[in-house]
Structure 1
């Protein structure tokens, strides 16, 4: 049985969406109406089938696109604090070193070189890339490129970290390792993380809460709270509790798909 998602009223809200919809210029209704609250410091995964609007929701929260209707309140934007975004692809500049790729947001913000160098060194150490600072993207593995992309997102010290299926193209062992490293960074830095995935197993392992979305137009079908001992490790991944959560979230995902299929039949 999926436990209801809980949030403490004492914890400030980092992101709030109310009746948010997104209709693209070609008429595609990608999202909504979407109602969602995410608390400061929470790790939330948006889970759903391809094309359900997960990435659209992230881009709305980031301010990269505007909603067609509804209200969207992002605390980091209103306070002037940064939002970090890790895309599906590393999107690194091939002609620049890893150090300069990570430095780019600070350079665009006109941060002095001495200050930016210190910050870049700090964040490269956090993601385990110190010894590869002078390397070029072509010299790194897929997992290391994603670490560099994560470092670039963290270098501005964002309050909210948005991650759009960053590990989907990686092999399973590398993905497991990066999942562990991401959780360690989340515990260390206390960021609000919104993580998009279509993997039930990844969402359960990473999240405090899994938000299951319907097929397009995407909206919240179910919210599943994941409770486990911290820190999570490989013992949790092989535990009966983990298997149970994966089963429950899978059932919620199937129910979300059935819900939209039945609604489509009713409209026909």
Structure 2
């Protein structure tokens, strides 16, 4: 089945006011016959931080691509609310597993790229790009090049580039997986602070139970391919969520609960 095959069309008007993304019976079969998703049903509320957790190949990244409009469902529907953008899609920011920065361009030029493609005036684009860099703690690095940055700093640039368009929805596909633990913890904390400040809808893909529970308001556990929802957990945590939560008994207990659900979804311990 072709990647361009669309599922049934459903108008945005049918979405409740508090829903940002809705999957209904959404399936995805790629041209090579691999079925990534099957009958995915999921609502993501506006302003919610949701993590998709599951084994490799369970369709987590495919779900993000469907939200972003980079792919279409083979059947079922995916509805996305939010402000339209000039290209006809929705205001969505995407942070990929790799920073994918242009090595020949400065940090400022990398962050400004989406605005340049949208033909925004140079002065306005510069101002917004610098503001985005300040939000991720890189205000003093606008004129340096990617080769001069650490892995964590490169990911901050990628995050700034996703935020520079002021998206309604921020999609993050395992952005911190390749980083060392100290850097990962620091970026988790910074991401939490950004989310509290901006209240974007965030859909975060991860393999880490610990990361999902620390960051999210809700953790969605997915089955192995073809992916579908196996379980959902509402994370109970103080707000603002600070580093002390990571070492609390409540955090440990919720991680154990989510880990057990992931094992069940993956068929571990069954005969």
For 2:73, the equivalent position in structure 1 comes to 67
Distance in 2, matches of 1:236 and 1:101, equals: 35
Structure 1 residue ranges, 4+ long, deviating more than 4 angstroms after superposition: 77-81
Query: What is residue 32 of structure 1 aligned with on the other side?
Result: 38
Which residue of 1 is the match for residue 135 of structure 2? 126
CA distance in 2, matches of 1:81, 1:215: 29
Query: 1:76: Cα distance to partner?
Result: 2.6
With a CA cutoff of 8 Å and minimum separation of 6, indicate the structure with the bigger relative contact order.
Answer: 1
2:47 corresponds to 1:47? no
Give unpaired runs (5+ residues) of structure 1.
Answer: 1-8
C-alpha distance in 2 between matches for 1:81 and 1:32: 24
- Of 182, 189, 192 in structure 2, the residue corresponding to residue 180 of structure 1 is 189
1-structure distance, mates of 2:192, 2:153? 17
Residue-pair matches, total: 254
Change (3 A) 1:229 1:91: same
**In 1: Cα distance, 2:42 partner to 2:217 partner:** 15
1:86 pairs with 2:92: no
1 CA distance for matches of 2:120 and 2:177? 33
**With structure 1 as the length reference, what TM-score do the two structures score?**
0.92
Q: 1: distance between equivalents of 2:151 and 2:174? A: 14
CA distance in 1, matches of 2:199, 2:16: 16
Q: What displacement does 1:10 show?
A: 8.3
Give me the whole-angstrom Cα distance separating, in 2, the residues matched to 1:35 and 1:169: 30
State the SS of the aligned residue for 2:129.
helix
Of residues 103, 113, 123 in structure 1, which corresponds to 2:122?
A: 113
| Aligned-partner Cα distance in 2 for 1:25–1:11 | 35
**Distance 1:219-1:10 versus aligned 2 partners, 3 A rule:** closer
Whether 1:137 aligns to 2:150 is no
SS at match of 2:155: helix
Deviations 1:30-63 (A, max 9, x none): 1111000000000000000011100000001100
Greater helix content: 1
Report the alpha carbon displacement of residue 216 of structure 1 after superposing the two structures with TM.
0.2
Counterparts of 1:204-243 in structure 2, within 5 Å, are: 204-243=213-252
| Equivalence map 1:148-167=2 (5 Å) | 148-167=157-176
For 2:193 and 2:253, locate their aligned partners in 1 and report how far apart those are by CA, in whole Å: 24
CA 1:150–1:50 in structure 2 vs 1: closer, same or farther (change >3 Å)?
Answer: same
Do residues 23 (structure 1) and 29 (structure 2) align?
yes
Task: Give the gaps of 5 or more residues in structure 2.
Answer: 1-14
Q: Which residue of 1 aligns with 2:7?
A: none
- When residues 236 and 36 of structure 1 are mapped into structure 2, their CA distance, relative to the original with a 3 A threshold, is same
TM-score by length of 2: 0.91
